[in-house]
Structure 1
Amino acid sequence: MIATLLTRVGSTVLTGFVGAVAYDGAKKAVGDGTARDGAVSALAWGLRGKRRLETGAEHVRLVTGDLVAEARERVGEQAPPPGTGDVGHDHDH
């Protein structure tokens, strides 16, 4: 019974010690700015990636619009002005 109690106490003390060491290490890393610098760098890369995706998506949208306009021209339809859409069809489907 005493051995079990000592084992549990030792385990608790060891867990507390490891937690304290980890906390101190994290506190030092944040204090040095290492973790913050890493987080800022990761966010900067994320923002660069987001901009590239947005640029690519805009390019795809413009190319698709050009293709649709050219296809409509080939079948004799007039392409609507940008941003107005297909409101007021004057032909039957």
Structure 2
Amino acid sequence: MVVQGFLGKAAGTVVTGVVGVSAYELLRKALAKAPLHDAAVTATEWGLRGTRRAEEAAESARLKVADVVAEARERIGEEAQPPAIGEHEHDHEH
């Protein structure tokens, strides 16, 4: 009787293992066929495009604000400063 109980448990364990391995193999094959690389490239492409659009919008907003500030300074009689383009003059050293 002890042997029958042991064989019954062993058979159940073997069946569970076979089902698990089969499920794993099916999942592995399905993922291998899935275009994961293409999906990752597409998602990255969308992210880059979104970042570029955000940068363009930020630069446009910065220029519009600079125009408004320059016009306001002109109205109160101040000389408008040219926009900074890389080189700038100030008292400290770099």
After superposition, give the CA deviation of every residue in 1:9-65 in whole Å (9 maximum; x if it has no partner): 96xx66xx27x8457635653x44611111110000001100100010010000000
Percent identity reads 42
TM-score (norm 2): 0.60
Count of residues in correspondence between the two structures: 76
Specify every segment of 5 or more residues in structure 2 that has no aligned partner in the other structure, as ranges. none
Gaps of 5+ in 1: 88-93
Q: Which runs of 4+ in 1 moved over 3 A?
A: 20-24
> Greater CA radius of gyration, 1 or 2?
2
1:38 maps to what in 2?
A: 39
Q: How far apart are 1:75 and its partner, in Å?
A: 0.5
